Amino acid sequence: MSDTAEDLNYQVKNLLLAYPSDWYIQKDTFDAVKDSIQPIVNFYEDSGVEPRQDTKLDNIIKEPLKDVYTVPFFSEKFCDILLDEMKNLEAHFGFNPNPEEDNLRQIPEITFQDNCPQIFQSLMQTIYTIGNPIFLNIWNRHVDSGGIQIANYNLRDKKQGAWHHDASADISMVVPLNTGKYKGGGTEFLKRGTVEPLPTGHALIFPSFTHMHRGLAVESGDRYLLVFWLKCLQE
């Protein structure tokens, strides 16, 4: 990894990633969000006095474990382009563990807010427009800030994660970028169960602090995850 001025001024290779657009999102979910906005907003503004109407998002969002949700989120095209950008980011910055975490819980990662603010802002805008309706549909809560990274599980550096909470966030969202290109993986939640690797682009969503979890070991290949640690709007 180089720390020259040229590397610190990273230039986005895939400019489409710097401009959020409809094609980022899987079509069924995009359409469900659009059709669900009004009953979601009505329920939020009524402070839950009246029951929320059923929404199309109710049919898209699944709950494989108690208070652990999955939803088709990013399109495969988006994930492919982001993986290509990741290779460029890796050449500039490398995957590095977070020095603020203990060694047991460190995972090789590339953080967007530090290394590529253009893509960070684009992804956060997608969270505000697509993620927030989903979070409101589930918990009647929405986010206004967060951190984003790509994490890499592999046999060379880190094949699995240790038990932990995402203590710095309120809502965690984990999106696999290359399911089928590795063996093993999945996410285990303490006393709740295991979610096997989701299809590429599908989001695993759960409360950050209450749900202790760990990434299960990869058996071969590189498992790439797009990870969002999100903070809820304080009202």
Range in 102-116, 130-144, 148-162 with the lowest mean pLDDT = 102-116
> Residue 57 falls within a domain, yes or no?
yes
> Residue 31 falls within a domain, yes or no?
yes
Read off the pTM.
0.90
> Residue 128 falls within a domain, yes or no?
yes
pLDDT digits (tens, 9 = 90+) for 19-48: 999 999 999 999 999 999 999 999 998 876
Quote the pLDDT of residue 7. 47
The full DSSP string for 170-194 is SEEEEEES-TTSSEE--EEETTTEE
CATH code of the domain covering residue 27: 2.60.120.620
Quote the pLDDT of residue 93. 87
Quote the pLDDT of residue 99. 54
| Cβ-based neighbour number of residue 56 at 10 Å | 17
> Residue 14 falls within a domain, yes or no?
no
Half-sphere exposure of 110 (CA within 13 A, CB side): 26
- State how far the alpha carbon of 164 is from the alpha carbons of 157, 161, 180, 208, 211, in Å: 19, 8, 26, 10, 8
Q: Taking 90 as the threshold, does the pLDDT of residue 166 lie above it? A: no
Number of domains in the chain: 1
Q: pLDDT-based confidence at 100, cuts 50/70/90?
A: low
Return the percentage of the chain with pLDDT > 70, whole number: 89
Q: Taking 80 as the threshold, does the pLDDT of residue 106 lie above it? A: no
Q: pLDDT-based confidence at 101, cuts 50/70/90?
A: low
pLDDT digits (tens, 9 = 90+) for 83-94: 999 999 988 887
Quote the pLDDT of residue 5. 34
Return the percentage of the chain with pLDDT > 90, whole number: 68
Tokens describing residue 181: 């290109």
> Residue 11 falls within a domain, yes or no?
no
Radius of gyration of the chain (CA): 18
Q: What is the mean pLDDT of residues 92-111?
A: 68
Q: pLDDT-based confidence at 103, cuts 50/70/90?
A: low
Q: What is the mean pLDDT of residues 5-14?
A: 71
Q: pLDDT-based confidence at 155, cuts 50/70/90?
A: low
Q: pLDDT-based confidence at 70, cuts 50/70/90?
A: very high
Write down the residue that tokens 């290509």 correspond to.
84
Q: pLDDT-based confidence at 51, cuts 50/70/90?
A: confident
> Residue 3 falls within a domain, yes or no?
no
User: 191 is in which domain, residue-wise?
Assistant: 23-232
> Residue 15 falls within a domain, yes or no?
no
